[in-house]
Structures are given as structure tokens and as C-alpha cells.
């Protein structure tokens, strides 16, 4: 009989609470046993307690001191980049075998985008889920790069201001740095740039992501097919992830200067995406948070399956 891995979630805000509910809704390989925060009055901790989940309001130190810590397989960190530095040091010192899934832009461990490089990171003790914009756009850059060398990739993530809580806002600077670096390290571009826009529109708009790449000219039909196939793969675990329109191509014959990159001629590929949330806990417009929790869950479930196979061998 396969082992159901146990997990705790640090961060009782929007992301941590949504992740808890996603696991409770029917993960066959993970069981959430604790939600950890620092505000005993938070909605997340109240919900956890009402559903029989240990609600720990004394942070990571309280988790480590709790009786259930010894049996934990995974810890998801949905706090902030700065907090994760502290949390990861404490957790790995207390239990070196624990597996950490980092939903902040701290980037202590390797970047992980499930459809692009999860297999090569299955043994990592601390994987970083990049950012919401990274989870949405890096697969597209990777798909284009699979068909033609990408010299430059630029992404713009537009999210509803209401979907950006204190943790997201605290991570704005790290968002741009981490996403830009991951566009290169995981997406395969030679140079990357990321921009995030908090849209205050009412009613709130769904997450929109725009991907621009500059490359040599190539087989445009093959590029479009690769992008469509990648969208379908992401959609398998983020059902609200979709193309807003067909992939667009523009041939640049007169050199244009790209700030920080230089003059360019060749093929410009534009991809326009929308991410609708599953509304398990967060509103449907909060696709930016939903894609992070969905990617983190897929990563941990795949790791848990690998652990079961190794245990059975």
C-alpha cells in the first residue's frame, strides 16, 4: 500500500489557505496536517482548526516544536522571500530529510516549473516555484526555445490589485529579479526581463500574461504548435490557463534597440495568456495565486509518487 505523504503549510494567508483547501479536496498522495501562521485570528488558521487541521500560530518555531513535526514529509512555505530564508534554515537544521516547496521568490533552491524541469529536480530538498508570472510564462518561453534559439524574452504579468496581499506586495522586487533570471535558467532565453502590474480596476480583472520573444526566424507553424501543446500541458493542472488569441509573429527587418539587450533584427513572437482561478478559496480573478498553489501541489505530488516508488523498490 502506497504511503500518503504528510505536509504542513507555513503562511495562513491567501496562498497558504488556498493550497490547504486544494489538498483537502482530494490529493491522493498528500495529506495536510498543519497550517502555520503568526496571527491566531487569521481566517486561514480558523478554517484549519474547524476542519481538524493543526492550526499553529507561533510560526516555524512552533511547527518544529509540535509533536507532528517528526512525521512530516513536506513543508510548503507561502510566506515571503525574507521569511523563507529563516524558515528554510530552521527546518532543514531540525530535519535534514524534510522536503521544502518554496512559493516565495527567495530562490534558495533550484527553480521549478513542473512542465519544464520538474523531473530533474525531484531529489532537491528545497525547490523554488519562481513566481506566479514565472509559472505562467516560462513554459511558453521554453516552448518557443524548443523550436528556435531565443535571444530575448520579456514578460508582463498583470494581476488584480485585490489579489495581491501583503506577502505578494512584499515580494515585488524579488518577483522581477527571480522571474527574469528563471526566464534564462529554465525558459532557455539568453536574456530575460519581467514586469508586474497591479491593476486596480473594478470589478477585478483576471490575471493576464504577455510573452514577447526575439529570435532568429524559424518554422512559425512549429512554434505555434509547440506553444499550443505547452498550454495544454499547463492546463492539465491549472484548468483556467489558456491562450487569449493565436500566437502572433512579426518580422523585424530594421534594427530596433531593446533596453539592456541591444539592437535586434529577426522574429518577434507574441503570446497572450489568461489565467482564471479555480475559486477553491480565492476569487476566480486571482489566477496569479491559483497557478502558484496548483504548480506547488503538482510538484509535491510528483515527488511523493517518486518517494513511494523508491520505497517499494
Q: Which residue ranges make up the annotated binding site for NAD(+)?
A: 12-15, 163-171, 288
Q: Computed from CA positions of residues 290, 208, 191, 117, in that sequence, does the dihedral angle turn out positive or negative? A: positive
Catalytic entry in 32, 63, 100, 132: 132
Concerning whether 132 is annotated as a catalytic residue, the answer is yes
Q: Let me know: does 246 contact 231? Beta carbons within 8 Å.
A: no
Nearest-angstrom CA–CA distance, 128 and 27: 21
Specify the length of the chain in residues.
Answer: 313
Q: Let me know: does 231 contact 115? Beta carbons within 8 Å.
A: no
Q: Let me know: does 80 contact 105? Beta carbons within 8 Å.
A: no
> How crowded is the C-beta side of 58, counted as CA atoms within 13 Å?
7
Cell 490547504 belongs to which residue?
20
Alpha carbon separation from 84 to 46, 90, 201, 222, 306 (Å, rounded): 23, 10, 31, 40, 25
Nearest-angstrom CA–CA distance, 148 and 252: 16
Helices (H) and strands (E) in the chain, counts: 10, 12
Q: Let me know: does 15 contact 297? Beta carbons within 8 Å.
A: no
Alpha carbon separation from 34 to 24, 46, 50, 74 (Å, rounded): 12, 12, 12, 11
DSSP assignment, residue 51?
Answer: T
Cell 516565495 belongs to which residue?
104
Nearest-angstrom CA–CA distance, 163 and 277: 11
Nearest-angstrom CA–CA distance, 94 and 22: 27
Q: Which residues are catalytic?
A: 132
Amino acid at each position: 500500500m502506497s504511503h500518503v505523504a504528510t505536509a504542513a503549510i507555513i503562511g495562513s494567508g491567501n496562498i497558504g489557505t488556498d493550497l490547504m483547501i486544494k489538498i483537502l479536496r482530494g490529493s491522493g498522495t498528500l495529506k495536510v496536517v498543519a497550517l502555520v501562521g503568526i496571527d491566531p485570528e487569521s481566517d486561514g488558521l480558523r478554517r484549519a482548526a474547524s476542519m481538524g487541521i493543526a492550526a499553529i500560530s507561533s510560526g516555524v518555531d512552533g511547527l518544529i516544536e509540535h509533536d507532528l513535526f517528526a512525521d512530516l514529509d513536506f513543508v510548503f512555505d507561502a510566506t515571503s522571500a525574507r521569511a523563507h530564508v529563516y524558515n528554510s534554515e530552521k527546518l532543514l537544521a531540525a530535519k535534514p530529510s524534510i522536503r521544502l516547496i518554496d512559493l516565495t521568490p527567495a530562490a534558495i533552491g533550484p527553480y521549478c516549473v513542473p512542465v519544464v524541469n520538474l523531473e530533474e529536480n525531484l531529489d532537491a530538498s528545497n525547490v523554488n516555484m519562481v513566481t506566479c508570472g514565472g509559472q505562467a510564462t516560462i513554459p511558453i518561453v521554453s516552448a518557443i526555445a524548443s523550436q528556435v534559439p531565443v535571444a530575448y524574452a520579456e514578460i508582463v504579468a498583470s494581476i488584480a490589485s485585490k489579489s495581491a496581499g501583503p506577502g505578494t506586495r512584499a515580494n515585488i522586487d524579488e518577483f522581477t529579479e527571480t522571474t527574469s533570471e528563471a526566464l534564462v535558467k529554465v525558459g532557455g532565453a539568453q536574456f530575460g526581463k519581467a514586469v508586474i502590474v497591479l491593476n486596480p480596476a473594478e470589478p477585478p480583472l483576471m490575471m493576464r500574461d504577455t510573452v514577447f520573444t526575439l529570435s532568429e526566424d524559424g518554422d512559425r507553424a512549429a512554434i505555434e504548435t509547440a506553444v499550443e501543446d505547452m498550454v495544454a500541458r499547463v492546463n492539465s493542472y491549472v484548468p483556467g490557463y489558456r491562450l487569449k488569441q493565436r500566437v502572433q509573429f512579426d518580422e523585424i527587418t530594421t534594427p530596433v534597440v531593446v533596453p539592456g539587450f541591444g539592437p535586434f533584427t529577426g522574429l518577434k513572437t507574441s503570446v497572450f495568456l489568461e489565467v482564471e482561478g479555480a475559486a477553491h478559496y480565492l476569487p476566480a480573478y486571482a489566477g496569479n495565486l491559483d497557478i502558484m498553489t496548483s504548480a506547488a501541489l503538482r510538484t509535491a505530488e510528483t515527488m511523493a509518487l517518486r518517494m513511494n516508488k523508491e520505497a517499494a523498490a
